[in-house]
Amino acid sequence: MKRLALCLASTLLAGSAFAQTTVQSCDREVVFDTPPKAAVSNDVNLTEMMLVLGLRDRMVGYTGISGWKTLDEEMRDGVAELPELSEKYPSKEVLIGADADFYFAGWNYGMKVGGEVTPDTLEPFGIKVYELTESCIHIGDKPKVSMDDMYKDLINLGKIFGVEDTAYDLVAGYKNALDQFTSSLNAGEEPLRVFVYDSGQDKPFTAGRYAMPTALIEAAGGVNVLDDFEKSWAKIDWETVVDKNPEMVVIVNYGNVTADQKREFMKNNPALAEIDAVKNDRFVTLEYVEATPGPRNIKAVKKLAEAFWGE
C-alpha cells in the first residue's frame, strides 16, 4: 500500500506538540489530553485506517481479522510487527491485558450493543474508544451514509493522535482522486440498479441505506436497490430482492463461502432466475476491506464503475 510507508516523523513529534482535543464519537464527546500510546484496532478496514496514518508505532495489536478474513499482501506487511490479540471480537480482559489505552472499533465492528466491550465498560480501565462513524446508526439516528463518514474517521483519528496534518492531506488526496474520476465517468442516463450480496442463503445479509456500499455504488453511478431499507448491514428476504429487480449484484468477498460460490448460488436458484442481474450474468466482487469504510474505498468506486459501465 503506497500510503502505508508514510513518514512517521509527525507521529513521533505529536506528543510534545499535542494540545487537548475533543472529538465527536457517535453520541459522545471524547476528550484526549495526550495522544494514545497503546492503541488496538478491530477489523481489517479500521486497522488500515490506523496504518495509513502512520500509527503502527502507537499500536500494541489488532483484533477481529483472522476469525473471518485473510490478510492480503499489503495488510500482512502493514501488521507484520503487531500481534493479533483476538481472532474475533476481543474480550475486556484481552484489551486490559494488552495495557491498551485506546480502542478503535464500531458497533458490530468489535463491539455489540449491551455487550461486554463498550465505551462505558472500558472507561474504568483507562481505555478510550472511538467509534466507526458508519456504525453509529446502531445506537441512534445519523444521516444516510456517505463518503464523508470515512473522511470524518480519518480526520478524527488524526486529531486524536496528533497527526492532523497527515489526515487532512490524505483526505484531500482521496477527495481529489474521486472528484477527478467521477467528473470523467461516462455513466448511463439512469443510475444502475444494484444489490449488495454479503452472505446468507435462506435470507441474504445485505447493505441498506446506512452501509458504506450505498455510498460507493452512488459514486460509481448506480443506486442501491435497498436505499429505502432503514438499516446498515442487515438481513432481508429474497422476495424483496426479486421485486427490486437489480441489474447488477455486488458480492462482498470474505469468509468460508467464496465469491464464486455466492455467485453460483444466485445463478442456480430458480427463485432468482428472473432478476435482470442473474439473467445477464452481471456480478462484480468487492473484497470486504473495499466494501467497508477505509482507505480502499476510492479503489472500490473505480472497480464498481468499470463493472457498471465498462462495456
Q: Are 91 and 116 a contacting pair, CB within 8 Å?
A: yes
Average pLDDT over all residues of the chain: 93
pLDDT of residue 295 exceeding 70, the answer is yes
Residue 184 domain-assigned?
A: no
Mean pLDDT over 264-286 rounds to 97
Mean pLDDT over 280-288 rounds to 97
pLDDT of residue 149 exceeding 60, the answer is yes
Residue 183 domain-assigned?
A: no
Number of domains in the chain: 2
Residue 185 domain-assigned?
A: no
Q: What is the DSSP string of 94-139?
A: HHHHTT-SEEEEEETBEE-TTSSSSHHHHGGGT-EEEE-GGGGGGT
Residues 65 and 166 in one domain: yes
Residue 143 domain-assigned?
A: yes
- DSSP single-letter state for residue 145: P
State the Cα–Cα distance between residues 221 and 224, nearest whole angstrom: 10
CATH assignment of the domain containing 229: 3.40.50.1980
More confident residue, 75 or 183: 183
Residues 220 and 266 in one domain: yes
Query: What pLDDT is stored for residue 74 in this prediction?
Result: 81
Query: What pLDDT is stored for residue 141 in this prediction?
Result: 96
Q: Domain residues for 119?
A: 2-175
State the Cα–Cα distance between residues 112 and 124, nearest whole angstrom: 18
Q: Is the dihedral of CA 138, 91, 80, 8 positive or negative?
A: positive
Mean pLDDT over 183-206 rounds to 95
pLDDT of residue 11 exceeding 80, the answer is no
Mean pLDDT over 84-96 rounds to 97
Residues 249 and 159 in one domain: no
Residue 186 domain-assigned?
A: no
pLDDT of residue 6 exceeding 60, the answer is no
The SS3 of residue 238 is helix
Look at residues 175, 207, 228 and tell me which one is the last residue of a structural domain: 175
Query: What pLDDT is stored for residue 55 in this prediction?
Result: 96
pLDDT of residue 13 exceeding 90, the answer is no
pLDDT digits (tens, 9 = 90+) for 34-69: 999 999 999 999 999 999 999 999 999 999 999 988
